[in-house]
Each structure stands twice: as structure tokens, then as C-alpha cells.
Amino acid sequence: MQVVSPDPANPAKAAPAEAAHIQEILDEIYEKYRNLDEGAVATYIPELSKADPKDFGICMVTVDGHVFRAGDCDKEFTIQSMCKPFAFQMALEQDGVAETLKYVGVEPSGDAFNSIELDARTGRPFNPMINAGAIVVASRIKKLPVETGVRAFVEKMSNAAGRELRIDEAVLESETLTGNRNRAIAYLMRNFATIDEHVNESLHQYFAQCSLLVTCQDVAMMAATLANIGTNPITGKRVFDFQFIKYVLTVMLTCGLYDYAGGWAYEVGLPAKSGVAGGIFGVVNRQLGISVYSPKLDAQGNSVRGILVCKELASHFGLHAFEFTNVGSSFMQWLL
Ligand code: GLN
């Protein structure tokens, strides 16, 4: 458990005094939930059942590049549904808001991540955080041949993480072999011409995105890149076009936790996204990226310890968007 200086090559640039306090709180929360053993590792994608249920990591990265860690922050796991906000960002960057929203909505469905339903009025999936919406997004950003689109996604995510990432081929194969429900969703959407005729290629793009290997620290870094209006706080590289980040964070806040999205927004009040491999991340706009990894999931497919840790962090640090300690936009203060 250690605080990593934003510039490891220059130890003189040590973390500020507050950093020790932040680290203490992180360590306390880690110890509190370390032995909690509730929930179940996902098995419906057979490869995921191989995860070690004891794994547990918490990582926070500030927009000025401080990294706070506790537990297993370097263990690789697949990003799963945490790819969805980033893929949505890529679609918005590629096609713009109006064109993207012709094919996918931004309404919370309040239903499970794998629900088979489309908006009866428009034929679109409700939002890009459930599988149907994410498959639409994947169909938009895929390229032919398929390797090209997957490579573009991996490259973007590598830039967000600040290191070179790769696909877990075993998970990709496992998802492809068993993903009949996603295939059914895709063909239903093909029936309504919501996605183009390259259904298998779109599914491949989606499955590959879900199979990206990341660590808890990678995900916190990606979250911090969103918080830092698109620039990776350590490498200084511009990764995301800032004009679309507010849309991505909004669908994360309203839809990121599926049928727990309302309870989450109420209790934690942060844009967030979970994945069935046990990852969850949250974004504190302009301040912080948070990530937790713990493979045991609750009934809604969210990491049990992940949810509890995020609740604790939000209450310890006053991170809820509408917390009374949150003073709001400095722009408005300037006007008053
Ligand atoms: N690959 C998984 C699926 O499509 C992702 C689901 C998730 O992480 N919630 O079923």
C-alpha cells in the first residue's frame, strides 16, 4: 500500500501532506472489507469463473497525477462492461451526437444489463450502458476488416491507461462461444435496421472490447483521464475529445449500474460503470478517478465489495455530486 508520486523519476516532487491522510482512509476501507466474502463470481462466460474470488484492489488517481493504491492493483482482469462508456465516447467522437443518437437512446431502462428490449417508439436500445446499446455502439465503431476496429479501440484504451493493453484471447473465445443472448439481441436489432448487415463483425467488436485486459490501476487511470477532461494525468496525452465527456458521464450516472442505477445515483452520486469480471469505476468530475476490483458479484452483476468501497469513499470524501460540501461550479461563483 503506497502513495505513488506523480513523477516517480523525480522523488523530490513528493505527494502533499494530505496524501498521507487519503492513503490512511483507503487502507482503512481496504482492511474493513478485505475478508468480506459475499456474492458469486460470474460463470455464464466460462472463462470468468477462473477468477480468484479473494482478489481485491482499490485505486484512486487524481487529475494532478497522484496514485493511491491498496491491495491487488496490478492483477489483470477483463474490463467487460466497463468498456461501454469508452466505446460510446469513441462513437460520439466519430459520428457526433445527433447521428449516434439516431441509433441508441440515453434513457435509463431500469432493467438488467442483458435485457432483451428496445424502445417501442423508436426501435432503439434505451441506452449505451446495457448490452443492446453497447452492441449498437460497437457496430458504429467497428471497421472492416474487424481487426482494424478492435485495434483502434485497444489503442484508445491504452492511451487512457497510459500503457499498452491487449485482448484476453481465451475470454474472447469464451464470450464468442457462449454469447447467444447477445447474438439474439444483435439479430433483433438487425431486424429493425438499428445495426447494419455485418452482425457478426459488430458482435466481434463488442466481445473483443469486453475482453480487454486491464488492472485496477489502469481503470482508475482511465477514469482519471475522463475526470481530467480527456487528458491522461500522468502521460499528459490528450485521449478523449472533451466536448463529449459530459454526455458519457451523464449516461454513466443515470444508467451505469443498470437496475441499481437509481439507488446508486441516490447513495453514491457519481458517474460509474461496473463489469461482470468484478471491476467498477467512478469519476469525480475534474478531480478524481476511482476503481475497485473484486470478482464476487451481487444479483445485479455488480461487484459486492466494489459497491461497498465506493459508498465508503463517497461518504468519507464527500464525493456525491449533490453533497452539501460540494461547492459547485467555480464559473458560477465567479459570476455571483
Ligand atoms: N461481456 C459481458 C456480456 O456481454 C459484459 C456484461 C457486463 O459486464 N455486465 O454479457
Residue 301: name the closest of 33, 30, 41, 38 by CA: 41
> Is residue 29 scored above 60 in pLDDT?
yes
The angle at the Cα of 313, spanning 307 to 314, to the nearest 5 degrees, equals 90
Ligand 1 atom having least distance to the Cα of 276: 8
CATH code of residue 174: 3.40.710.10
Domain boundary among 210, 239, 257: 210
Can you tell me the distance from the alpha carbon of 219 to that of 69, in angstroms, rounded to the nearest whole number? 12
pLDDT-derived band at 327, boundaries 50, 70, 90: low
Ligand 1 atom having least distance to the Cα of 131: 4
Same domain, 206 and 92: yes
Can you tell me the distance from the alpha carbon of 252 to that of 299, in angstroms, rounded to the nearest whole number? 20
Task: Categorise residue 145: left if φ over 0, alpha if ψ from -120 to 50, beta otherwise.
Answer: beta
Q: Are 79 and 48 in contact (CB under 8 A)?
A: no
Q: What would the pLDDT profile of 142-166 be if each residue is shown by its tens digit?
A: 999 999 999 999 999 999 999 999 9
Residue 182: its pLDDT value, please? 98
Q: Give the distance from CA 56 to its chain's centroid.
A: 17
Same domain, 174 and 104: yes
Active site residues: 81, 84, 206, 258, 276
Owning domain of residue 312: 2-79+213-320+328-335
DSSP notation for 306-325: HHHHHHHHHHHHT-STT-TT
Same domain, 280 and 134: no
How many domains does the structure of the chain reveal? 2
Residue 316: name the closest of 35, 22, 15, 19 by CA: 22
C-alpha cell at 115: 435485457
Domain boundary among 162, 189, 210: 210
Residue 122: its pLDDT value, please? 84
Can you tell me the distance from the alpha carbon of 310 to that of 291, in angstroms, rounded to the nearest whole number? 8
Q: Ligand 1 centre and the CA of 131: distance in Å?
A: 7
Residue 186: its pLDDT value, please? 97
Domain boundary among 177, 210, 243: 210
Q: Are 133 and 173 in contact (CB under 8 A)?
A: no
pTM: 0.94
Same domain, 269 and 305: yes
Same domain, 265 and 153: no
Tell me what the mean pLDDT of segment 66-70 comes to.
Answer: 97
Take atom 4 of ligand 1 and give the residue whose Cα is closest: 131
